[in-house]
Amino acid sequence: MNFEFRAVYWREMVKFFRFKSTLFSSLIQPVMWLAFFGLAMSKSFDKLTSLLPSTPGVPNVDYLTYMGAGIIAMDVLFSSLFGGTSLLFDKKYSLLKETLASPIPRINIVMGIGLSSITKAFIQTGIIIIFGKLIGMDFFKGYDITQTLVSVVGIFLLVGIFTLGFFFLSGSIAITVDQPEGMQSILTLLSMPLFFISNALYPVDSFPEVLKFLSIFNPLTLLSNGIRYFALGTNFSVMGGHYIYTTEDIAISFMGLIFFAFIMLSIILWRFDKVDI
């Protein structure tokens, strides 16, 4: 792959910053989730948690901090899933035809838009972490500067891989369907089970066994686990539960997300070869 993807990437970023409504909603949405849902729910859950016995010698994490990792995962999920709509509108207004007719290899088109999705996800993740710290989200507690930097890099790597996987998925759908309404219906249908059968906002310990098993393979769970490993540490308790994350756990998160991204990449490249503009 050459560097022709830079033109596609630059076009997508110009669109992102030029359309003020899209830019504003993308930046304000994670703040609203934390400010309204996060603070409201954390007060309720922390009150209930105070009635539960704590594990001696294990740091206790408040619900807002636990949920912060899930807010990042959830926000990245929705932004990357709907990132493929750029391809749908390009196809609808014949811009994709012109792009495909250019000498740029098709993988460069995919990677250009995918990298723009990663950039947007990084911006949103940074906003959540910074704003979350301001309202009491206790990420990186007790970390020195080196540990904090390593943890931030780890979180952004996971977010980047996750974003690519779901952009490839949404892009495959975008160049298959013809109408935005159809794509929106499919993405809504996909996002609901991904969101609810995960540990993004609550532990899965009390799930029915079938749902608990499915959550293990849910990319949203893998991302949430990885973020908590880097942001909260390897040993903590929350809502009466005791959680230990090991090196094997974070390796599973990375490998699972990489595998998912490669599968989705192969699907979108196959769809691009078959696309009929």
**Count: domains in the chain:** 1
Measuring CA to CA, which residue among 113, 160, 97 is closest to residue 15?
113
List the domain range (segments joined by +) for residue 159: 5-274
**137-196 residue pLDDT tens:** 889 988 999 999 999 999 999 999 999 999 999 988 888 887 777 888 888 888 888 988
CA 84-90-94 angle, 5° bins? 155
> Which residues in the chain come in under a pLDDT of 70?
1-4, 43-44, 46-54, 92-95, 98, 101, 103, 275-277
Report the candidate in 194, 252, 255 with the shortest Cα–Cα distance to residue 70.
Answer: 194
How would you class 138 by CB atoms within 10 Å of its CB: exposed for 0-12, middle for 13-18, buried for 19 or more? Answer: middle
Question: Is 0.75 surpassed by the pTM of this model?
Answer: yes
Sequence-distant (6+) residues with CB within 8 A of 135 are 34, 35, 38, 39, 64
